[in-house]
Each structure stands twice: as structure tokens, then as C-alpha cells.
């Protein structure tokens, strides 16, 4: 997860539960990721391509303008922002979350 954060790349996944798993959630926060997850893990490649085509401009704008970390669900008709709960021991510094040292 460090590489996408360092390169400011978007993370695209079919795993909606990542933001709930403590280690995954901490990685999203620590590496300041911009994360997009498909609304269903059972979508076909064609369905995912259609959704990406529809939302790509907005996703690009979010990557450029939105403060990270963030997480959005990619639905057929819309992108929905999802809350990322910050674990204990993390503090906000310079607009992003980092471990309290």
C-alpha cells in the first residue's frame, strides 16, 4: 500500500470490506490512499468497465482535489463516499493522519 500512496495513485478494488479490517484501514490512513471499491464483488469485467467509463472523470477529479485518505464505493449510477474510522493512536497532522509517536 505504500507505493500507491507515495505515487498518488488510486487504489481500485472489489473488496468492500477493506475499510473495516483494522490492518487494512490503518494502511489506508497511514499511506493516505484514495480508494475506490466496486459496489459488488460479483460484477463481470464488462460491468466494471462500464461503471469505470461512466465515473472516470469524477474519480480523476476526486484524486486531484479530495484530501486523503478517502474511500468511495463505485455504483452503477453514482459514487458514494464511505467513512473511514480512524483507529486510536493516530493523530491528524498537516491535513493527514499518521501514527502518534
Q: Does residue 53 carry a pLDDT above 80?
A: yes
Q: Does residue 96 carry a pLDDT above 60?
A: no
Sorted by where each begins, the domain ranges of the chain are: 2-99
Mind listing the pLDDT tens digit for each residue in 8-25? 899 999 876 666 677 788
Mean pLDDT for the chain overall: 83
pLDDT of residue 64: 94
For the CA atoms of 88, 19, 26, 61, the dihedral, rounded to the nearest 10 degrees, stands at -110
Q: Which helix (H) or strand (E) holds 72?
A: strand 70-74
Mind listing the pLDDT tens digit for each residue in 16-50? 666 667 778 888 888 989 999 998 888 999 999 99
C-alpha–C-alpha distance, residues 12 and 62, integer Å? 13
Amino acid at each position: 500500500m505504500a507505493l500507491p500512496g507515495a505515487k498518488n495513485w488510486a487504489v481500485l478494488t472489489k473488496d468492500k470490506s477493506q475499510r473495516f479490517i483494522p490492518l487494512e484501514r490503518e494502511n489506508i490512513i497511514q499511506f493516505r490512499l484514495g480508494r475506490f471499491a466496486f459496489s459488488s464483488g460479483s460484477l463481470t469485467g464488462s460491468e466494471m468497465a462500464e461503471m469505470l467509463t461512466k465515473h472516470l472523470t469524477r474519480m480523476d477529479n476526486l484524486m486531484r482535489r479530495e484530501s486523503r485518505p478517502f474511500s468511495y464505493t463505485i455504483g452503477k449510477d453514482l459514487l458514494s463516499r464511505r467513512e473511514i474510522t480512524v483507529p486510536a493512536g493516530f493523530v491528524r497532522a498537516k491535513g493527514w493522519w499518521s501514527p502518534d509517536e
